[in-house]
């Protein structure tokens, strides 16, 4: 499988241009004929997206056209709809042949397809926040907590209410880190309602009812709950038997999809037992790219391929505005300025841009 027929360069197809897929395509673009299939023309540094809602100009650095970092790859702006043993079929009807395939479709995303559209969406969300006196946020995971914190830090006069159906915020980290996030939000006058949900569709004239019968008045709302894995379409493909009961692709230690030697999966869509985090998707991307590079060079011994070791210890930093954060390290959790110095100022945007071979500042 090391060379395409006739000595031509190997075809590598990457489906999904998120944090993992973009890095695989960037890493391999000089080693093979790389095609990136993505519904949108850009890659977004997802952990910076909430800052862009309170500071739209931030998106100019965190939303990056695929063409900026993939000068030597083919970019196909379309959804993938089928996978055969030799090709990927797109919704536009084109067949893209592959020798190696990387599936990196993460979670379902809907919305803008161009960078300009995405930046103007952030502008609209910023205007919505600016015009509102009271804001409801539904969901107390990292997205909901970071958005509440961004608004509380930049617009302290606004009344922010966060409703979460779980018994504590940030359930993916330890209780101590959860409490620190709750304390920070409470100090900033964010009202946090736990153990309840809200049906935003049943709201009338800015009045929302919670499942516990409480009434919340808000000028606008933001839904910050998880979206499904981007794998429903795979049930009609050759990978249908490689999905687990939750819709995740089962992979081996080389990140190859079980039952296939030349098809890899990376990022949130995999069944790797670890937290679904962006920096881990980047680690997956490095392992998959290395294994493909070795295979292209003719390495046939599986033991010589790159191996991925799951991150068993939780490591997470949740930004709380521009200067503070709560961090979960393997043995302790801390809140305040120190973890804030690690992440909250630039949100790793400069570092991520540099990793894609781009200028850290634009």
Q: Quick one: how many helices (H) and strands (E) in the chain?
A: 10, 19
Query: For residue 7, what pLDDT is reported?
Result: 57
Query: For residue 38, what pLDDT is reported?
Result: 97
Give CATH for domain 115-226+314-356: 3.50.50.100
Report residue 138 as tokens.
Answer: 């539904």
The residue written with tokens 């900033």 in the block is 188
Please write the tens of the pLDDT for every residue from 269-290.
999 999 889 999 999 999 999 9
Report the C-alpha gap between 272 and 229 in whole angstroms: 14
CATH fold of the domain at 11-39+78-109+227-304: FAD/NAD(P)-binding domain (3.50.50)
Contact present, 106 and 257 (Cβ < 8 Å): no
DSSP code for 47: G
* Its pTM surpasses 0.85: yes
Report the C-alpha gap between 296 and 281 in whole angstroms: 22
Work out the burial of residue 95: count CB atoms within 10 Å of its CB; fewer than 13 is exposed, 13-18 middle, 19 or more buried.
exposed
Is the pLDDT at 5 greater than 50, yes or no? Answer: no
Contact present, 215 and 208 (Cβ < 8 Å): yes
Report the C-alpha gap between 35 and 13 in whole angstroms: 5
Segments of the chain assigned E as strands:
11-15, 33-38, 42-44, 63-65, 74-77, 80-83, 87-90, 95-97, 100-103, 134-138, 159-164, 191-194, 207-209, 215-217, 220-223, 263-265, 316-320, 324-328, 333-336
Mean pLDDT, rounded, for 37-58: 95
Q: What is the domain partition of the chain in residue ranges? A: 11-39+78-109+227-304, 115-226+314-356
Is the pLDDT at 302 greater than 90, yes or no? Answer: no
Q: What's the start-to-end Cα distance of the chain, in Å?
A: 41
Report residue 47 as tokens.
Answer: 């952990």
Query: For residue 49, what pLDDT is reported?
Result: 93
Q: 11-39+78-109+227-304 and 115-226+314-356 share one CATH topology?
A: yes
pLDDT band (50, 70, 90) for residue 313: confident
Query: For residue 109, what pLDDT is reported?
Result: 79
């Amino acid at each position: 499988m090391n060379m395409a027929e006739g000595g031509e360069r190997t075809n590598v197809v990457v489906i999904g241009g998120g944090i993992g897929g973009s890095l695989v395509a960037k890493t391999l673009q000089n080693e093979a004929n790389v095609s990136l299939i993505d519904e949108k023309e850009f890659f977004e540094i997802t952990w910076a997206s909430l800052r862009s809602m309170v500071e739209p100009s931030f998106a100019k650095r965190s939303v990056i056209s695929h063409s900026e970092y993939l000068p030597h790859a083919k970019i196909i702006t379309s959804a993938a709809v089928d996978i055969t043993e030799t090709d990927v079929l797109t919704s536009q009807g084109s067949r893209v042949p592959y020798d190696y395939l990387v599936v990196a479709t993460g979670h379902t995303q809907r919305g803008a397809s161009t960078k300009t559209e995405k930046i103007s969406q952030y502008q609209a969300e910023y205007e919505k926040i600016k015009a509102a006196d009271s804001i409801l946020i539904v969901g107390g995971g990292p997205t909901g907590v970071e958005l509440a914190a961004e608004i509380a830090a930049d617009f302290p006069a606004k009344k922010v209410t966060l409703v979460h159906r779980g018994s504590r915020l940030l359930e993916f980290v330890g209780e101590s880190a959860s409490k620190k996030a709750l304390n920070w939000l409470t100090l900033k006058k964010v009202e946090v309602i736990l153990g309840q949900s809200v049906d935003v569709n049943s709201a009338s004239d800015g009045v929302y009812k919670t499942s516990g019968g409480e009434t919340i008045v808000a000028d606008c709302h933001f839904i910050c709950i998880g979206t499904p894995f981007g794998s429903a379409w795979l049930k009609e493909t050759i990978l249908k038997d490689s999905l687990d009961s939750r819709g995740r692709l089962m992979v081996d230690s080389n990140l190859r999809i079980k039952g296939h030697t030349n098809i890899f999966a990376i990022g949130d869509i995999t069944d790797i037992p670890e937290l679904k985090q962006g920096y881990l998707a980047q680690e997956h991307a490095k392992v998959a790219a290395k294994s493909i590079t070795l295979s292209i060079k003719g390495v046939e011994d599986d033991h010589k391929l790159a191996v991925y070791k799951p991150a068993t210890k939780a490591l997470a930093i949740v930004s709380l505005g521009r200067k503070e954060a709560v961090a979960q390290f393997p043995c302790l959790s801390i809140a305040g300025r120190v973890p804030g110095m690690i992440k909250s100022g630039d949100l790793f945007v400069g570092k991520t841009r540099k990793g894609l071979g781009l200028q850290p500042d634009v």
